Structure 1
Amino acid sequence: MNLIKTAFCLIILICSSIPVWSQTTGKIVDTDRQPVEGATVVMQLPDSTYLGAAISAADGTFSLEPMADRYLLIVQHLFYQSQVVKGQTRDAGIIVLEPKEHSLAEVVVEGERPLVTVEQGKLSYDISAISKKHIVNNAYEAICKLPGVQDRSGKLSLIGAKDVTVILNGKASTLTQEQLIEMLKNTSASQVQTAEVMYNTPPEYHVRGAAINIVTAKAADNTLQSELSATYSNQYFGSYSGNVNFLLTKGKSSLNVSYNPGYSHIMTVMDLASMHQYDGQVYDITQRQKINTKGWKHNIYAEYGYQINEDNALSVGYNGALSGNGKGTIDVNGNFQNSHNDKVQDSWLHNVFARYSSGFGLDLGVDYTDYSMNDYNHLESELTGHTRQLLDYTSDQKIRKVSVYADQSHSLANDWTLKYGVRYDYTDNRNSQLFNQTEGKDNVDNSSSRLYEQIANLYAGFDKEFANGLYLSLSATGEYYSIGNYHKWSLYPQASLSYSPSEKHTFMLGVSSEKEYPTYWDMQTSTTYMNAYEEIQTIEGLRPANVYSVNANYLFLQKYMLSLFYERIDDYFTMEMYQAKDRLALVYRTQNWNYYQSFGMSANIPFSIGNWLSSQVNATVVNDRNRCDHFWDIPFDRNKWACMLSMQNHFSVGSQLGFDLDAMYRSSMISGISDTKPVFMVNVGAQWNFLKDKASLSLNCSDLFDTMRMKVKNRYAGQHIDLNMGQYSRTVSVKLVYRFGGSITKEKREVDSSRFGH
C-alpha cells in the first residue's frame, strides 16, 4: 500500500508541474451540439505560416501549444464543412461545424458514415460510430458489437476462425484470454479510434491467423487527461472493481499510468450424472459441485514515451498483475461421494519492456516477463461405505521469458513495399506438484519438470496497392521450434487479395497458416484431483497444432457482408472427458487429435429505422468434423452441421439516453465424443450520459432469463455422461464513469501469459 500511495503522490506532483493553463484549447461540436471526434485543427499565423496541429478527442476537445498572440485555426473533417476561426486568446471557445450536404434536383443527400471500410485487406470499423449505436462502456463491449465477433463463455471468438488474437496499435497482446478480457473491460470505448479485423494477419504483427487490431486515439500535446470508473456486478455474489487512469504529455515526453483494483466473488455450479461401467457393473453416479472463489486482484501499468524527433520514438514501461491470497472452496455432494476442498492461490506477474520506432521503417522491441503461481489444495472426501480420502498438495509454476523482435520495411519502385523481420522467444518454465498427505488414494505421485523453450521466426513479404482498387500481400515465415528433445523447422506461407471495383462492392480472399502452442502446464505429466471422482490429467509430449485457413468475404455498400470460410487444424489439442475403464474416475485430459475441420458461411445485415433504432442481424451455418484415432480405446470420427443466430438492437431516446436488447441462439454442436445442447440468451441494458457527456451511468443484465447453460451429453461407445454447467449465469452490473479533460489514452503494452497457469 505504501508503494501505491507513493505512486499516486508522484502522479499528483507531476500533474501540478505541467502548465496546462498555457495551452490554446477549444471544443468542436456539430449543429446538434454533439462532440465531433477526429477533426483536424491547424494553427497558422495570419500570413499562413504553419504553427502546429491537433486532432479533436472523443469529447470534441483539442489543445495546442501557444506560439502567437494572433492566430488562425483551420478546422477540417471528412463529414463537415471546413471552418476558419480567428483567435487572440488561449480559449478558442466552441467551434460549430456544419454537415456537408450535396443538393441534386431539390433532393438533399446527406453522407452516411460507413459501418466498415477496407484498408490494405483489413476490415476497418469506426468504434465511435458503433458506440453511438450501442451501449458500450468499455473496449471489450465495443469489440463484441463487431459483426461476427462474439463472447463465448468469457472467450472472444470470430466467426470463420477457431481463435482470434487482439492486437493493440499493431503490437500483439500478450495476455491470457481472462487477462485480456479484464484489460479490455478496463479500457474506455472512447479511447479506441478504430478496430481492424484481419482474417489473415500480416507477419509484421508477429501473429498468424485471425486478429483484431485496436487502434487507440492519440492524445493532444501538453495536456492532462484522466478517467475514473467504478463497477458493481452481481452473479450470485457481489463483485466490484475500479479504474484510475492518468495520461500526461509535455513536449516530447508522455507518461501513462493506470491502476485497476478489483474484488471478485464468483459461484459456479455443475450437475453431473454418470452411468459408469466398471468391473462388469454400471454405477449410477450423481453429484452437484459448487465452486466458490473470491479474492483481490491488482493491475498496475506505467509507460514513459519520448519522441526523440519527428520520426524516432522510444518507450519503456512496466506491467504488473498481482493476485495474493485468493481463497476458494469446492463442495461436492452426491450418492458416490461428499467432498470438501479448501484452496488458496497466489500469482504474480511482472513485465518490463522497451521499444523503439525509427523514421526509416525499423521497429525494435524487447521485454522480460517473470511469472509465479502457487496453488494450495486440502481435499477431504467421504465415499460410499464411509471410505475416507485425504489429499493435501501444492502446485507451483515459475516462468521466466525473454522476447526480442526487429521489423524493417522499404518502399520499392512502382509502389511495392518490402517487409521483413525476426522475433526470438526464450522461456525457462518450472512446474511442480507435491503431495504432503495422500490417505486412502493409490498411485499418487509427485511430479516436477523444467522445460526450456525456444521459438525463432524469420519472415519476408511484399505488398502493393494497385490503382484499380486491387491490393495484394504475399509473405512467408520460417520458424524454428525447440523444447526438450523436440526440434522442428516449419514454413508458413500467407496470401491476401482484396478488390474494390467501386465503393459498392469489395471482394476479399485470404489464405494463411500458423501454429498454436499448448500451455506450459499441459506439457508435463501430472494429475490434479478435483474431488474423489473427477481428475485432470496432463501428459508429456503434447504437440503444437498446425492451422490452415481460407477466407472469402464480399462487402456490399460498406455495410452488408457475406463470408465463406474453411479451417483445418492438424494435431489439434483440447480437453475432453472420459470414463476410465480400470477404476471409478472421470478423467479430463488434454491430448492431440488427428485434426479439427470446419467450413461454413456467415451473413451480417445491419439496418436502421429513423434515428431511434439501430439493429444488426448475423446468421452462420457451419459444419464441424472431429477425428482422433488414439483417443483412449475409443477412436472417433464425427461431423455435424450447426447454426448460430444473433440480433443486436439499440433504441435511442434523445441524445442522452439509450437502451439495448440483444438475443442469441446456438444449435447443438459437437466436441470430440460429446454433444452440446442448444442454448439461447437475452441481454438488456440502459445508459444515461450526463454532465456534457463527461459522465455516464449504465445498467446491464446479461443472460436475463438465466438460460445460457452449457449442457453436455456423451453417449459414445459405452460412455454415458450428462454435465450441466453454468447455473446462475445471469449477471447484473452497474457502472459509473467520469472523465476529466477527455479520455484518450496511449497504447498499453501487455504481457504474454497466454500459456501460463493451469
Structure 2
Amino acid sequence: MIMRFFFLALFVATSLTANSQTISGKLVEENGKPLPYANVVLLSLPDLAFVSGTISEEDGAFTLEATSENQIVKISSIGYKTVYRPVSPANIGIVQLESDAQLLNEVVVKGNLPVTRMKGDAMVTNVENSVLSKAGSANDVLAKIPSITKKQDAFEVFGKGTPLIYINGRKLHDLSELEQLNSNDIKNVEVIRNPGSRYDATVKAVVRIRTVKRQGDGFGFNLRSSYYQSKNTDLIEQANFNYRHDNLDIFGSIYYNQMESWQDFSLKLEERGTKVWNHDMKSNGEFYSKMLNGNIGFNYQLNDNHAFGMKYKAGRTLNEENPLSKETDINVDNVFYDNIKVNSYDCYDYNPDHELNAYYNGQFGDVNLDFNADYLQNGKRSNSVFQETSQTSESRDVHSANHVKNRLVAGKLTLSLPLGGGAFAVGSEVTYTHRNDDYINEENYVPSSFSKIEELNAAGYAEYNRSFPWGDWSLGLRYEHVKFDYYEDGRHIDEQSRTFDNFFPNISFSTQLGKVQAQLSYTAKTQRPTYSELSNNVFYSDRFTLQKGNPALRPTIIHDLTLSAAWRFLQMSLSYSQTKDWILNWGELVNEDASLTMLSQRNWDKSVPMFATFLSVTPKIGCWSPMLGVGMQKQWLVVDYFKESKNLDNPIFTASFNNTWELPLDFMVSLDSYIQSPGATQNIYFEKPNGYVNVSLRKSFLNDALSVELRGNDIFNTNKISYSMYSGDYYLYQKSVWDRQEFVVTIRYKLNAAKSKYKGTGAGDSQKSRM
C-alpha cells in the first residue's frame, strides 16, 4: 500500500510539472557574502501580477517555478536596491545586490536586525558572528536559545517536551555530541514546534543545528579538554579531525569522558488497602562511568548535483557502577512494623555500540532524491545485588541479571520537486527493530523471564508548500503501519501483539502583518511507549515494591494547535493540545492489604487538554546581550487518589534570564539563571520551585584559535526537586539533591578546523530513541 501511495504521488507530481521551468540563482552582498532571507517573487507580464514567491536560503540560494515565458523575477531586501531578472535563462547565476544608502540609514536608526526570526516552519536563531558563537559548546548555545530549557542532562522545548536534535540533517543519538561541537562552528539553530509529515509521528518538536561551511582544502583539527570539580571529579577529552581535498571530505572524532556523581533522596510512600502502609525512606547513591567512542566517515561530491557518503560510529561504556544505600522505617496502621537497611550494587557490562549510516543525495532536473540507510546494534548486561537487613523479619540477599540486545535496520527515501508554483515532497520510511530482554532472579523472589520484541514500522508521507501574496501554506499527510510482535519464553503472545494503522495530517499558514511574522499550525502526533515500558519483565526493587513494563500499552495520540509570532526581538507562542491515552507512571496494589505494590505504566483513557504559552525578549544593548524568557503551561487532569478525585490543574510557570557581556581584550562574561514554579504535569505535582544560576568567564587568544573558560554551575546549589505522584491507592513523595554545584575549566584549541559536509539525515530515528 505504501509503495502504491508513493508511486501514485510521484506520477501526479511529475505529470503536473512537465511544462514548468525551475528558476534558480544565488544572492550575494557587495562583499560577496551570501544574502539570506531576501524576497524573491515571480511576476507576470505585462501587469506585474504576483505568481509565486520564496525567500533565499542561508547560503543565498533560491528556486522558483516559472509557468510561462511572460514572467519576470523581482529580488528585494531591506537595505538593498531592488533587482529584476528575466526567467530566461533558467539559471540566473550569482546576483549581487547593491546597498541602498537611504534604506541602510533607516535600518541603523531603528536598530539591529533581530537575532531570532521566523523562517518557514521554524524559529531561526543566528549564531554565526553573534555573541552565541563564543558560548562554548553546542550545549551552551542551546541553553540560550528562546523556548529551549536544559533540564538535568536533556533539553526540552517549552510546552512540547524533549525534541529530536539534528546536526546538518543528521539525527543526534548521543547528547555527548553536543559537547563535541564548538559554538563558533554553528551557523544557526532552528526550533520547529510543530514538525510536519517528513518527521516520524512521535516527534513533537525538532531542533536543527546547522554548522558553518568551511572553505579550502587541507587538514584541520579541534581539541578540547574539560575538568569538572564538585564533590567528585569529572573529565572530558575530545579530538576532532577533518581532511578535505577537492570533492573528498574525510572526518572523524574521538571522545572520552569520566563521570562521577551522587544523589541523595528521601521518599515517603503510602499505600491504602485493607491496611494502610507508610514507608519513610532515606537514600544516597553514587554513579561511576567511563565511556569512549569515535566515528569516521567520508563525503564525496561528484558534482553540484550528486553527493554520497558514509559514517561509522563505534563506542563502548568501559565501566559503569551504581552503589546505593537506603534505610526505611515501615508503619502499618500507624504501628511500627519494621526497619530495613539495604545496600545494593549495580554493575553494567556494555556490548560495543555500532552505528552505520549511508546516504545519497542527487538532483535529476527538477527532482531531488534523498536516500538514507541505517544499521544500529547495541546491548548491555546488568548484574544487581541487594543486601537487605531487617529488624523484625528475615534478612535476605537478592541477585538478579538483566541482558538487553537491540538491532535496527532502517531506510528512508524522499523525492522533492516543484509543483504548481510551490514545492512538493513525497517519501517513505521503513524500520525493523529486534530486541531481546532477559531477566533472571536466582532466588526466584520474582519470576525470571525471557522476552523478545519484533516491530515493523512502515510509513509513507507527502508534503506540499506554496506561497501566495497573502501568506505561505504547507499541507502534509503521513501514514504509518506498525506491526508489533511480543514473544515470551519463545512463544508468540497473541493478546500482547498488535497492529496499528494511523494517518497523521498537518497544516500550517504563515504570513507577515507589517513587521510581525506569524504562523498558525495544526498537527496530529503520537507517542509510542519505549521498549522497556513494553517489557513484561518484573524487576525487584525491595520486598514491598516490584517494577515492570506493560506490553498492553497503547500509543498516545496528540492533536496540537500552535500560534507563533515574531516582531523584531520579541518571540511568542501559544499552544493548545488534546492528549488521548496518555502514558502515566502508576502504582497498583498486588495484595489487598497493600503489603506489595507493582510500579508500572498505564494509559489514561480520558482526553486531557493542555495549554502552553511562551514569550522571549532578545535585544542587544551595546556590549550586553540579554535573553529573557517566561512561560506557562497548564493541564486539566483529574486522577483517582485514595478513592477520591485529585485535581492536577495547577499551572507551571518558568522564567530564564541569560546575560552575556562582550568586553575588551577578548573577554566575555555570562550570567544565566532559570527558575520553575510549583505545578502539575501528568500525575506529578512539583511541590517547590527549583532552578539554578550559572556564571562563566571566557578569554580567547591567538585570534580565537585558543580559548580558556572558567565556569561555575549552580553556584547557589538550588537545583533540587521535590514532587508528589498521585496514582489510585499509591502515593509517593520524593525529594532529590544532586551534585550539580561545580567548578569547570575548559580549554579549546583549533587549527584550520573545518566542519564535515556530511549530508546524511538518518532513518528510523524514533525507534532508536525508544531503545
TM-score by length of 1: 0.80
How many Å apart are 1:209 and its aligned residue?
A: 2.8
2:416 aligns to what? Answer: 409
Q: C-alpha distance in 2, partners of 1:234/1:288?
A: 26
Query: Per the alignment, do residues 253 and 289 of structure 1 end up closer, same or farther by CA in structure 2, a change over 3 Å counting?
Result: same
2:223 aligns to what? Answer: 228
User: What secondary structure sits across from 2:269 in the alignment?
Assistant: strand
In structure 1, stretches of 5+ residues that fail to align are 1-35, 41-54, 58-76, 82-97
Q: C-alpha distance in 1, partners of 2:267/2:310?
A: 50
Query: What residue identity is the alignment partner of 2:383?
Result: Y
1:351 aligns to what? Answer: 355
Pick one of 232, 239, 245 that aligns with 1:244: 239
Query: Per the alignment, do residues 661 and 584 of structure 1 end up closer, same or farther by CA in structure 2, a change over 3 Å counting?
Result: farther
Query: Per the alignment, do residues 667 and 528 of structure 1 end up closer, same or farther by CA in structure 2, a change over 3 Å counting?
Result: same
Query: Per the alignment, do residues 358 and 134 of structure 1 end up closer, same or farther by CA in structure 2, a change over 3 Å counting?
Result: closer
2:498 aligns to what? Answer: 486
Query: Per the alignment, do residues 690 and 743 of structure 1 end up closer, same or farther by CA in structure 2, a change over 3 Å counting?
Result: farther
Contact 1:518–1:755 under 8 Å retained in 2:
no
How many Å apart are 1:625 and its aligned residue?
A: 2.5
User: What secondary structure sits across from 2:213 in the alignment?
Assistant: coil
Q: Following superposition of structure 1 onto structure 2, how do residues 11-410 of structure 1 map, counting pairs within 5 Å?
A: 109=109, 112-130=112-130, 132-133=131-132, 136-173=135-172, 175=173, 179=174, 181-206=175-200, 208-277=203-272, 280-283=275-278, 285-335=279-329, 336-347=339-350, 348-360=352-364, 361-385=368-392, 387-410=394-417
How many Å apart are 1:315 and its aligned residue?
A: 0.5
Q: C-alpha distance in 1, partners of 2:105/2:549?
A: 73
Query: Per the alignment, do residues 190 and 584 of structure 1 end up closer, same or farther by CA in structure 2, a change over 3 Å counting?
Result: farther
Q: Following superposition of structure 1 onto structure 2, how do residues 494-533 of structure 1 map, counting pairs within 5 Å?
A: 494-502=506-514, 504-533=515-544
2:557 aligns to what? Answer: 546
Q: C-alpha distance in 1, partners of 2:398/2:608?
A: 37
How many Å apart are 1:112 and its aligned residue?
A: 2.2
Query: What residue identity is the alignment partner of 1:124?
Result: V
Q: Following superposition of structure 1 onto structure 2, how do residues 640-655 of structure 1 map, counting pairs within 5 Å?
A: 640-654=650-664
User: What secondary structure sits across from 1:513 in the alignment?
Assistant: strand
Contact 2:508–2:520 under 8 Å retained in 1:
yes
How many Å apart are 1:197 and its aligned residue?
A: 1.3
Query: Per the alignment, do residues 106 and 548 of structure 1 end up closer, same or farther by CA in structure 2, a change over 3 Å counting?
Result: closer
Query: Per the alignment, do residues 523 and 627 of structure 1 end up closer, same or farther by CA in structure 2, a change over 3 Å counting?
Result: farther
Range 530-539 or range 473-482, more displaced: 530-539
Contact 1:551–1:563 under 8 Å retained in 2:
yes
Q: Following superposition of structure 1 onto structure 2, how do residues 616-635 of structure 1 map, counting pairs within 5 Å?
A: 616-627=627-638
Query: Per the alignment, do residues 715 and 453 of structure 1 end up closer, same or farther by CA in structure 2, a change over 3 Å counting?
Result: closer
CA deviation vs aligned residue, 1:200-227 (integer Å, no higher than 9, x gap): 2233345643211111222324222210
In structure 2, stretches of 5+ residues that fail to align are 1-30, 36-56, 60-76, 82-97, 330-338, 486-496
User: What secondary structure sits across from 1:303 in the alignment?
Assistant: strand
How many Å apart are 1:651 and its aligned residue?
A: 2.2
Structure 1 vs Structure 2 CA RMSD: 3.2
User: What secondary structure sits across from 1:183 in the alignment?
Assistant: helix
Contact 1:265–1:294 under 8 Å retained in 2:
yes
Contact 2:236–2:255 under 8 Å retained in 1:
yes
CA deviation vs aligned residue, 1:164-214 (integer Å, no higher than 9, x gap): 2212223443x2xxx3x2111121112221111112223334564321111
Q: C-alpha distance in 2, partners of 1:728/1:337?
A: 26
CA deviation vs aligned residue, 1:417-471 (integer Å, no higher than 9, x gap): 1110000001111111011234xx4xx10012111101111011210123x3621
Contact 2:642–2:728 under 8 Å retained in 1:
no
User: What secondary structure sits across from 2:530 in the alignment?
Assistant: coil
How many Å apart are 1:597 and its aligned residue?
A: 3.2
CA deviation vs aligned residue, 1:67-125 (integer Å, no higher than 9, x gap): xxxxxxxxxx99999xxxxxxxxxxxxxxxx9997589999648724212322232211
Contact 1:593–1:627 under 8 Å retained in 2:
no
Q: C-alpha distance in 2, partners of 1:155/1:739?
A: 27
2:91 aligns to what? Answer: none
Q: C-alpha distance in 2, partners of 1:454/1:107?
A: 55
CA deviation vs aligned residue, 1:258-296 (integer Å, no higher than 9, x gap): 01011111112111233455653554x322222212121
Q: C-alpha distance in 2, partners of 1:457/1:720?
A: 41
Q: C-alpha distance in 2, partners of 1:729/1:240?
A: 15
How many Å apart are 1:299 and its aligned residue?
A: 1.7
Pick one of 423, 426, 429 that aligns with 1:420: 426
2:454 aligns to what? Answer: 452
Query: Per the alignment, do residues 738 and 578 of structure 1 end up closer, same or farther by CA in structure 2, a change over 3 Å counting?
Result: farther
1:572 aligns to what? Answer: 582
Q: C-alpha distance in 1, partners of 2:616/2:705?
A: 33
Query: What residue identity is the alignment partner of 1:368?
Result: Y
Query: Per the alignment, do residues 605 and 103 of structure 1 end up closer, same or farther by CA in structure 2, a change over 3 Å counting?
Result: closer
Q: C-alpha distance in 2, partners of 1:257/1:738?
A: 17
How many Å apart are 1:745 and its aligned residue?
A: 3.7
Contact 2:132–2:183 under 8 Å retained in 1:
no
1:31 aligns to what? Answer: none
Q: C-alpha distance in 2, partners of 1:542/1:754?
A: 16
Query: What residue identity is the alignment partner of 1:426?
Result: Y
Pair 1:610 & 2:622 matched: yes
Pair 1:433 & 2:439 matched: yes
Identity of aligned residues (%): 17
1:13 aligns to what? Answer: none
2:45 aligns to what? Answer: none
2:14 aligns to what? Answer: none
How many Å apart are 1:566 and its aligned residue?
A: 1.2
Q: C-alpha distance in 2, partners of 1:344/1:755?
A: 24
Contact 1:520–1:756 under 8 Å retained in 2:
no
How many Å apart are 1:236 and its aligned residue?
A: 2.6
TM-score by length of 2: 0.79
Query: What residue identity is the alignment partner of 1:401?
Result: L
User: What secondary structure sits across from 1:141 in the alignment?
Assistant: helix
User: What secondary structure sits across from 1:609 in the alignment?
Assistant: coil
CA deviation vs aligned residue, 1:282-321 (integer Å, no higher than 9, x gap): 54x3222222121211121111111122210011121123
Contact 2:588–2:729 under 8 Å retained in 1:
no
User: What secondary structure sits across from 1:523 in the alignment?
Assistant: coil
Q: C-alpha distance in 2, partners of 1:736/1:381?
A: 46
Query: What residue identity is the alignment partner of 1:232?
Result: Y
Pair 1:711 & 2:722 matched: yes
1:687 aligns to what? Answer: 698
